[in-house]
């Protein structure tokens, strides 16, 4: 029996956690992820309490997602032009300042929404730098396992932050709850500032300027890089494979509360349903990352993407509550399909553009997770929540069929990078 080549050898989580720079990025991600969820939940409650408008409450919940694609498109090149320590620290401190302003200043609702939208525009810039740094820090299967751990932290902080938001608003009030989030951003910034060495960006000096002395417009460079990324068939297909299923499932997730009411479940039952999907994400990432080899993860992309959509179709028949919980956990487990694509995406983009590529990936995910609920919510308005959730599942299955038809995981093997 022959052993797998190094690139196909499964890496244990403890090997990834042994890398000090990764532990730093993981800790910062945990802090900021919790702060993000805390801010979203708290501000949505605050705006709804002030206005009594369900629409404004929903807009507040999603306003931090959709504008990210604007920031990635117009400013994404900054991820590859400014040294990562400076950029990531500045991003976290800007988040801290915004949360502090929301907490201490009695801003009108429109000003709160504008402030959150501006912060959202800058989020993919710092996020792109962080993800590019992760690709430089971890190699081979360690990179995929690192993404798995970050995904699990993201799911956990989503649960913790949303739950903590409700508790904090009740115990200390919304303004003090926002200050707790601001403190978390400040601690994350301090960790990065003190723990990350001063690293130059690819092809640039430690000050962040191009090594050849030129300095083109950031917007021009960002737009040009975005066009090149989207023009490359490998990158474009991988982006679609990440984006569409997330948008479809977010559309179904946004209908869980009205579905619970439509099905006659007891008051408060939607809380467990909402928690089921991120719980499934935790399980899926742990099982896929821990037990599957790199080659097995690639083979599992299409089956896991199909698992993401299939359980949602069952909601059309209005299953009993316990089965709904199981179905949503299974749906969440399907999100692990992304682990089989992570390495292909990293390898498909040249190093000097990886920061913007990751920013584009993340901002597209956030945008479609904001658009999905609006689209399927409109469909539910015309039909029923159960019908719209089933349609979201069918759309996800269609994406899985498309992915199977183009051999998605083999796209970045031998062609030149963007």
Give domain limits for the chain. 16-202, 232-407
267: left (phi over 0), alpha (psi -120 to 50) or beta: beta
Q: What is the DSSP string of 78-136?
A: GGGTS-HHHHHHHHHHHHHHHHHHHHHS---HHHHHHHHHHHHHHHHHHHHHHHHHHHH
CA angle (83 as vertex; 16, 66 as ends), nearest 5: 80
What's the CA gap between 214 and 216, in Å, rounded? Answer: 6
Run of H or E including 14: helix 13-17
CATH number of 16-202: 1.20.1250.20
SS3 210: strand
What's the CA gap between 229 and 13, in Å, rounded? Answer: 31
Q: Give the model's pLDDT for residue 241.
A: 94
Q: Give the model's pLDDT for residue 5.
A: 43
Tokens (6 digits) for 25 = 């990025």
Q: Do residues 281 and 332 make contact, with C-beta atoms less than 8 angstroms apart?
A: yes
Q: Give the model's pLDDT for residue 416.
A: 43
Q: Kindly give, in sequence order, each residue whose CB lies less than 8 Å from that of residue 372, ignoring residues fewer than 6 positions away.
A: 246, 247, 248, 249, 250, 251, 254, 392
Q: Do residues 311 and 259 make contact, with C-beta atoms less than 8 angstroms apart?
A: no
What's the CA gap between 263 and 138, in Å, rounded? Answer: 47
Run of H or E including 138: none
Buried residues in 358-378 as b, exposed as e (16+ CB within 10 A): bbbbbbbbbbbbbbbbebbbe
Domain 232-407 maps to which CATH number in 3.40.1110.10, 1.10.3720.10, 1.20.1250.20, 1.10.3470.10?
1.20.1250.20
CA end-to-end span of the chain, whole Å? 38
Tokens (6 digits) for 107 = 């801003």
The DSSP letter of residue 19 is -
Largest CA distance in the chain: 69
Q: Give the model's pLDDT for residue 67.
A: 81
Q: Residue 4: how many CB atoms within 10 A of its CB? A: 12
Tell me the whole-structure pTM to 2 decimals: 0.79
Bridge partners (DSSP) listed for residue 204: 210
pLDDT per residue rounded down to tens, the chain (418 residues) = 333 444 456 677 788 888 999 899 999 999 998 888 788 778 877 776 787 765 566 567 667 777 888 888 888 888 888 888 899 999 999 999 999 999 898 888 889 889 988 888 888 888 888 888 888 888 877 888 888 888 888 877 776 766 666 666 667 777 888 898 899 999 999 999 998 888 766 545 444 454 444 445 878 888 888 888 889 889 999 999 999 999 999 888 888 878 888 888 876 677 788 778 888 988 998 888 888 888 889 899 999 999 999 999 999 999 999 999 999 999 999 999 998 898 888 888 877 778 888 888 888 888 888 788 878 888 888 999 899 999 999 999 999 999 998 876 554 444 445 5
Backbone angles phi and psi of 210, in degrees to 5: -60, 140
What's the CA gap between 208 and 384, in Å, rounded? Answer: 53
Q: What is the DSSP string of 151-175?
A: HHHHHHHHHHHHHHHHHHHHHT-HH
């Amino acid at each position: 029996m022959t052993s797998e080549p190094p690139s196909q050898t499964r890496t244990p989580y403890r090997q990834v956690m042994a890398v000090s720079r990764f532990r730093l990025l993981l800790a910062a991600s945990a802090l900021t992820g919790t702060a993000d969820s805390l801010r979203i939940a708290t501000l949505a409650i605050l705006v709804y309490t002030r206005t009594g408008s369900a629409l404004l409450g929903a807009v507040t919940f999603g306003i931090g997602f959709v504008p990210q694609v604007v920031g990635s498109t117009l400013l994404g090149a900054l991820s590859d032009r400014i040294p990562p320590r400076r950029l990531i620290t500045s991003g976290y401190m800007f988040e801290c300042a915004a949360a502090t302003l929301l907490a201490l200043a009695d801003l009108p609702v429109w000003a709160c929404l504008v402030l959150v939208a501006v912060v959202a525009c800058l989020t993919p810039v710092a996020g792109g730098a962080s993800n590019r740094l992760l690709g430089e820090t971890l190699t081979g299967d360690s990179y995929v396992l690192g993404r798995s751990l970050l995904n699990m932290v993201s799911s956990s902080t989503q649960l913790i932050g949303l739950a903590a938001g409700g508790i904090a608003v009740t115990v200390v009030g919304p303004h003090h709850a926002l200050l707790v989030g601001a403190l978390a951003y400040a601690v994350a910034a301090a960790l990065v500032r003190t723990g990350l060495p001063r690293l130059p960006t690819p092809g640039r000096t430690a000050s962040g300027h191009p090594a050849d002395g030129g300095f083109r417009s950031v917007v021009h460079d960002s737009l040009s890089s975005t066009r090149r990324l989207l023009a490359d068939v490998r990158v474009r297909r991988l982006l679609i494979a990440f984006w569409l299923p997330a948008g479809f499932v977010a559309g179904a997730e946004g209908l869980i509360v009205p579905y619970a009411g439509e099905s006659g479940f007891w008051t408060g039952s939607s809380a467990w349903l909402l928690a089921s999907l991120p719980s499934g994400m935790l399980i899926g990432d742990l099982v896929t990352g821990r037990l599957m080899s790199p080659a097995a993860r690639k083979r599992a992309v299409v089956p896991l993407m199909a698992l993401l959509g299939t359980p949602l179709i069952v909601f059309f028949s209005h299953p009993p509550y316990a089965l709904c919980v199981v179905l949503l956990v299974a749906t969440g487990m399907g999100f692990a399909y992304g682990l089989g694509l992570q390495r292909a995406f990293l390898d498909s983009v040249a190093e000097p553009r990886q920061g913007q590529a990751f920013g584009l990936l993340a901002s597209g995910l956030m945008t479609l997770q904001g658009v999905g609920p609006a689209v399927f919510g409109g469909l539910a308005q015309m039909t029923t929540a159960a019908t719209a959730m089933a349609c979201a599942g069918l759309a996800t299955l269609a994406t899985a069929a498309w992915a199977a038809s183009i051999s998605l995981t083999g796209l970045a093997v031998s062609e030149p990078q963007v």
